[in-house]
Amino acid sequence: MDSFGDAWEIICSYCKTKITDVAYNTWISRIEPLNLDFEKNTAYLMVPNDFHRQTLTRCYVPLLDEAFEAVFDNKFIIEFKTPDEIEKKEPEIKKAEEEKDTNYEYTFDTFIVGSSNKFAHAACLAVATNPSRAYNPLFLYGNSGLGKTHLLYAIGNEIKKNDPSKVICYIKGDDFTNELIESLRLAKMADFRHKYRQADILLVDDVQFIGGKESTQEEFFHTFNALYDAKKQIVLTSDRPPKEIKTLDDRLRSRFEQDLIADIQPPDIETRIAIIKRKAELVDIDLSNEVCEYIASKIKANIRQLEGTVKKLKAKSYINNEKTTISTVQEVIADILNNDVPPEVTVERIIDEVARTYGVSAEEIRSQKNRSANISNARHIAIYLSRELTTLSMVAIGEEFGKRHYSTIIYTIRKVNEMMEKDSKIKELIDDTIKNIRDR
């Protein structure tokens, strides 16, 4: 294959067939391929933080081993690196990271502008050209797969190109929470605060995931204020506008809304065709006009799926050594379109999302032993949602949560209903959690 990135696409596809969507999106999708050293038989992968690495090492290395062997017919040692470690300039990793910085996926040049995104694109370009003086903060929102992350990285890369001395910090909303939890556990809050508050540019993806988390919102509020008062640039993305993030503190919502809010809509067919052709050019695959138009007519609402289709066609043409035809496209698209069908909501998926929201583990939620207030609240909400979002009986739900008696399940559901009636914040948290479960 032309690069480790091409192979990684196939490895991810393999992993996705073996685990739940929630597990894949939470743990595997956030891994970035860095370098493949055939001499050392080592695959270097970047993960957001040490908490992420620990979970992967504990739960997902066997799956990754299996996937690497399936793709390369060879076993590799998997070595995870965090962004902080990469900054220490380890030879192989530093080189791969520098190459990634110039990757076509993260520039304005490769972002296809159409009627659905031209306002957001213009706003981002203005910020990249004139940071902290154009729009601050800039808030982008739109459905998944429409290019928000692309624009976020493009801003960072453009600023870095114009002024290499700028300190640029990118983080996902839920990774901010995970890092905060880890810093509290290790008593390293001073380091955590320094990391974010010394940034010249703070780029936060999926900021909606800090909603409902009191400690996270408190810390983010002070980080936001420190950067804003120092005239540093802040750019945020979300799947919805601030007013619709019901579990967001009012003081944060007002700050998110205090300058420019720009939305991104699904692209029209001309833009979709242009995206396909540009992606094909960049990965060096020859696609006919007929093939491009066919893809664009079938995949209408997600740019990431358009680009993913081209990548898969590239991998397929390499493996089979044959020209891409409509029938080839139909095979690839069939998998993507099938994945568009909302997956059945399972108890496992509910527990994973509630665990992520409350900063606890799925095992703690299922456990009979741990009864701390935070874990108990998470467990109660997970039980309530299992009744609301699945067709399982009370007895079956009790089995899922440490073999609890069905009468306990009935009591818990009644208790959560009463809590929602008395406290609108709890209802909003549960509503947001339901949305996240259905959207993931």
pLDDT tens digits, 235-292: 999 989 998 887 888 899 999 999 999 999 888 888 889 989 888 888 788 888 988 9
pLDDT tens digits, 111-121: 888 888 999 99
Is residue 293 within 8 Å of 273, Cβ to Cβ? yes
Question: What are the residue boundaries of the structural domains of the chain, listed by start?
Answer: 1-85, 104-263, 269-341, 347-439
Q: Which amino acid is at 335?
A: D
pLDDT higher than threshold 90 for residue 154: yes
Per-residue confidence at 94, pLDDT binned at 50, 70, 90?
very low
Phi and psi at residue 436, to the nearest 5°: -65, -40
Q: Do domains 269-341 and 347-439 have the same CATH topology?
A: no
Global pTM value: 0.62
Distance of alpha carbon 81 from its chain centroid, rounded? 18
pLDDT higher than threshold 50 for residue 96: no
DSSP annotation string for 184-224: HHTT-HHHHHHHHHT-SEEEEESGGGGTT-HHHHHHHHHHH
* Helix, strand, coil tally for the chain in percent (to 5): 60, 10, 30
Rounded CA-CA distance 344/438 in Å is: 9
Q: Which CATH architecture has domain 104-263?
A: 3-Layer(aba) Sandwich (3.40)
pLDDT higher than threshold 90 for residue 109: no
Give domain 1-85's CATH superfamily.
Answer: DnaA, N-terminal domain (3.30.300.180)
**What CATH number should be reported for the domain whose range is 269-341?**
1.10.8.60
Which of 258, 409, 418, 439 has the alpha carbon at shortest distance from 349? Answer: 439
pLDDT higher than threshold 70 for residue 439: no
Highest averaged pLDDT of the listed ranges 299-303, 337-341, 400-404 = 400-404
Percent of the chain at pLDDT > 70 equals: 90
Distance of alpha carbon 182 from its chain centroid, rounded? 19
pLDDT tens digits, 369-428: 766 788 888 899 999 999 888 888 888 898 888 888 888 899 999 999 998 888 888 888
Is residue 156 within 8 Å of 170, Cβ to Cβ? yes
pLDDT higher than threshold 90 for residue 137: yes
- Residue 299's pLDDT is 86
Find the range with the poorest average confidence among 80-94, 188-202, 295-309.
80-94
Q: Can you name the CATH fold of 347-439?
A: Chromosomal Replication Initiator Protein Dnaa; Chain: A; (1.10.1750)
pLDDT tens digits, 17-70: 888 877 888 899 999 998 887 677 888 999 988 888 888 998 899 999 988 887
Q: Which two tokens stand for residue 377?
A: 């609240």
> H/E element holding 262?
strand 260-263
